[in-house]
Structure 1
Amino acid sequence: MIGAIAGDIVGSVYEWHNIKSKDFPFFTEKCFFTDDSVLTIALADTLLTDTPYVENLKKFYRWYPDAGYGGSFRKWVQSSQSAPYNSWGNGAAMRISPVGYAFDDLQTVLRKAEEFTAVTHNHPEGIKGGQSTAAAIFLARTCKTKEEIRHYIESQFGYDLSLHVDEIRLTYTYDESSQGTVPQALRAFLDSTDFADAIRNAISLGGDSDTLACITGGIAQAFYGSVPTWIQEKVYSILDERLRAITQQFVARYC
């Protein structure tokens, strides 16, 4: 899942300053981790400790209240209620990558992805985004080809993955919906040549850059087998001690 966190951190400085080019510094002094990383690591901690995910979401929010959460999530997490709020946003897909690594068969991955998505994003599009992202990671880490991954996602979830990333970039704009983020992030992975290129593809689309790159990064890590050492080292230097320790524990156990 460190690939997802890396994508979030690299994309953090471009979310509100979109670029339409792959030619940009991979890390700058202004890069930071956002809610994408915080909630991804909260899920990793749930898988490591069996702490209920709703409990972890609220606890991690209290620890990192200024990480850039969406309005609906912020309202939910600050309330005393725990019922989901029928979101179709991209917030569940951005945090789901640990599920794709932690389970050893596709049906369990799909079931767990729905379970952890639906605690907030119980709209069908929200669940589809979480499941498709986790499934792509599972398929990638179990040595499926890009064409096999594309065929499964299109046939199982109905996403149109036909446009090359260069075509998407021309007209793509900011979109916080699951259905307007996940297919584009998947295509950024499909058209990549290595991990770093996948992140560059995702960010170059513009839009919700950190979330696009977070989703793409989780899949790209699984497919290419690892995240380059220099990227991992930079990510760990940006995470604080708590988030770094949980990430390292998860990576050691599941990646």
Structure 2
Amino acid sequence: MIGAIAGDIVGSVYEWDNIKTKDFILFTPYNKFTDDTVLTVALADSILTGKPYDENMRQFYAWYPNSGYGGSFRKWAGNPESGPYNSWGNGAAMRISPVGFAYDDMDTVLEKAREFSEFTHNHPEGVKGAQATASAILLSRLGKGKEDIREYIEAHFGYDLKKHVDEIRPSYTFDVSSQGTVPQAIRAFIDSADCEDALRTAVSLGGDSDTLACITGGIAQAFYNGVPEGIESRVYDYLDARLKDITLKFMDRFF
């Protein structure tokens, strides 16, 4: 989970000012957490406490209303009577990393990823992106190699993960769809050398940088067995007391 939050914060300054290189400063005074972090922590809190996730998302939105949410989510969060809005966007995948850490078998991970996605993202592509992300985290936790993870994701979700990031990067542009974000984020993890390099690789693709790095970072944390202390400690500097406390409790219980 902390890897996903790290990716969000690192990528936050490049979402509207894309770069196409891995050579950049990870943390600046302008970095911040976004809706990716807020909704990830809200999910972690629901897993810890049992509070319904739809209620938690609306509560966290009320606490952090200016964190960069999409228009459809804002409308949903502002109306307790509204149902899912058939989104195929990357919003379900960006917030799903706690599922991959909290549950230990694939059937449960896939079901929970669907359950937590469908409050908003009930389009098949939205659900698929969340399931692919969560399953990659679980497979990493189970000690599977990158080739095994790639083959599983391709076989079960139909994503084409064969292109190296160096082939993707030149023509890749901003894309908020799940199908235009999740495969690229997973490939950034596959082509990484370590956790920090995974974050840098994801951001270097351009596009929706904070969400790409958020998805990549969660998988990288699981595969590389943690986030470097220097990165993790800086991440906590950007979180307020509430977000930090929930994140620490989740990490203590599930990692």
Shorter-chain TM-score range = over 0.9
Map of 2:127 onto structure 1: 127
Structure 2 Cα separation of the partners of residues 108 and 235 of structure 1 = 29
Q: Is the CA contact (8 Å cut-off) linking 1:12 and 1:32 kept in structure 2?
A: yes
Structure 1 Cα separation of the partners of residues 104 and 36 of structure 2 = 24
Look up the equivalent residue of 2:110 and give its one-letter code: L
Deviation, structure 1 residue 81: 1.8
Q: Is the CA contact (8 Å cut-off) linking 1:22 and 1:203 kept in structure 2?
A: yes
Q: TM (normalized to structure 2)?
A: 0.99
Map of 1:3 onto structure 2: 3
Gaps of 5+ in 1: none
Aligned length: 255
Runs of 4+ in 1 over 3 A off after TM superposition: none
User: Percent sequence identity over matched residues?
Assistant: 68
Structure 2 Cα separation of the partners of residues 176 and 93 of structure 1 = 11
Map of 2:30 onto structure 1: 30
Structure 1 Cα separation of the partners of residues 172 and 70 of structure 2 = 21
Deviation, structure 1 residue 82: 3.7
Matches within 5 A, 1:160-175: 160-175=160-175
Look up the equivalent residue of 1:136 and give its one-letter code: A
Matches within 5 A, 1:99-118: 99-118=99-118
Gaps of 5+ in 2: none
Structure 2 Cα separation of the partners of residues 104 and 173 of structure 1 = 35
Map of 1:211 onto structure 2: 211
Listed one character per residue, the Cα deviations across residues 172-231 of structure 1 (whole Å, up to 9, x for unaligned) are: 000000000000000000000000000011000000000000000000000000100011
Map of 1:94 onto structure 2: 94
The RMSD of aligned alpha carbons is 0.5
Q: TM (normalized to structure 1)?
A: 0.99
Map of 1:158 onto structure 2: 158
Map of 1:68 onto structure 2: 68
Map of 1:145 onto structure 2: 145
Look up the equivalent residue of 2:34 and give its one-letter code: T
Structure 2 Cα separation of the partners of residues 177 and 88 of structure 1 = 6
Structure 1 Cα separation of the partners of residues 162 and 140 of structure 2 = 19
Listed one character per residue, the Cα deviations across residues 5-27 of structure 1 (whole Å, up to 9, x for unaligned) are: 00000000000000001110011
Look up the equivalent residue of 1:216 and give its one-letter code: T
Matches within 5 A, 1:167-206: 167-206=167-206
Q: Is the CA contact (8 Å cut-off) linking 1:54 and 1:82 kept in structure 2?
A: no
SS at match of 1:203: helix
Map of 2:136 onto structure 1: 136
Structure 1 Cα separation of the partners of residues 79 and 20 of structure 2 = 38
Structure 2 Cα separation of the partners of residues 104 and 195 of structure 1 = 22
Listed one character per residue, the Cα deviations across residues 52-101 of structure 1 (whole Å, up to 9, x for unaligned) are: 00000000000000000011111111113241110000000000000000
Structure 2 Cα separation of the partners of residues 238 and 125 of structure 1 = 32
